């Protein structure tokens, strides 16, 4: 699994209108709109780093990046860690098999164990760190955009 994992957020009417009609505003208001987008993107990124589960390597948190595209009209927060989708969305049942039909040997609770056949290792519950970050920051972004449009 490789690439970038992104969660899309519905912008809502206020922000959609501001971004769509940005060229209709004067230069000062355009600058304020772009600043709200930039600041909101950074805020979501920072919140995602805070709420992301901390693993032994820290790659999930280190892989959370933000950027602006479309002349500052859109902010994107992504996670580049290869296991990001598995953490955000969870997994189905995970099964481990022994190689070539042999017995599976592993250490569990300090003892060597042997197992023949498929071993169900459970499932991982979703830990929606990107969605949670966007949801927590969204009211502030909308309020800041409303203030910028006044």
User: pLDDT tens digits, residue range 19-44?
Assistant: 888 889 999 999 999 999 999 999 99
Contacts of 5 (CB under 8 A, 6+ apart): 78, 79, 80, 81, 84, 85, 88, 130
pLDDT at 80 over 70: yes
Token output for 33: 């709109």
CB 58 within 8 A of CB 64: no
Q: Could you tell me which residues are beta bridge partners of residue 114?
A: 105
Which segments within the chain are labelled E, that is strand? 5-6, 64-69, 74-79, 95-96, 104-108, 111-115, 119-120
- Average pLDDT of the chain is 88
Question: Taking 60 as the threshold, does the pLDDT of residue 2 lie above it?
Answer: no
Q: Do residues 37 and 66 make contact, with C-beta atoms less than 8 angstroms apart?
A: no
pLDDT above 70 as % of the chain: 95
Quick one: average pLDDT of 52-73?
92
Q: Do residues 81 and 63 touch, judged by C-beta distance below 8 A?
A: yes
Average pLDDT over residues 68-84: 90
Q: What is the pLDDT, as a whole number, of residue 105?
A: 81
pLDDT recorded at residue 101: 66
DSSP string covering 42-73: HHHHHHHHHHSPP-SS-HHHHTEEEEEETTTT
Long-range contacts of the stretch 54-57 (C-beta < 8 A, 24+): none
48-to-16, 77, 112, 116, 135 alpha-carbon distances in Å:
23, 9, 39, 41, 10
Tens-place pLDDT, residues 6-16: 677 777 788 88
Give residue-wise pLDDT tens across range 111-134.
Answer: 998 888 788 888 999 999 999 999
Stated pTM of the model = 0.80
User: How does residue 65 score in pLDDT terms, banded at 50, 70 and 90?
Assistant: very high
């Amino acid at each position: 699994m490789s690439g970038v994992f992104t969660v899309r957020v519905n912008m809502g009417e206020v922000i959609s209108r501001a971004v769509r009609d940005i060229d209709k505003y004067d230069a000062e208001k355009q600058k304020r709109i772009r600043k709200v987008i930039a600041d909101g993107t950074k805020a979501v990124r920072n919140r995602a780093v805070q709420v992301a589960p901390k693993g032994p390597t820290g790659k999930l948190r280190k892989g959370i990046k933000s950027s602006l595209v479309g002349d500052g009209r859109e902010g994107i927060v992504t996670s580049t860690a290869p296991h990001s989708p598995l953490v955000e969305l969870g997994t189905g049942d995970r099964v481990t098999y022994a190689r070539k039909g042999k017995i599976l040997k592993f250490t569990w609770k300090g003892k060597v164990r042997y197992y023949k056949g498929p071993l169900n290792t459970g499932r991982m519950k979703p830990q929606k760190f990107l969605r949670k970050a966007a949801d927590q920051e969204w009211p502030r972004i909308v309020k800041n955009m409303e203030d910028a449009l006044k």
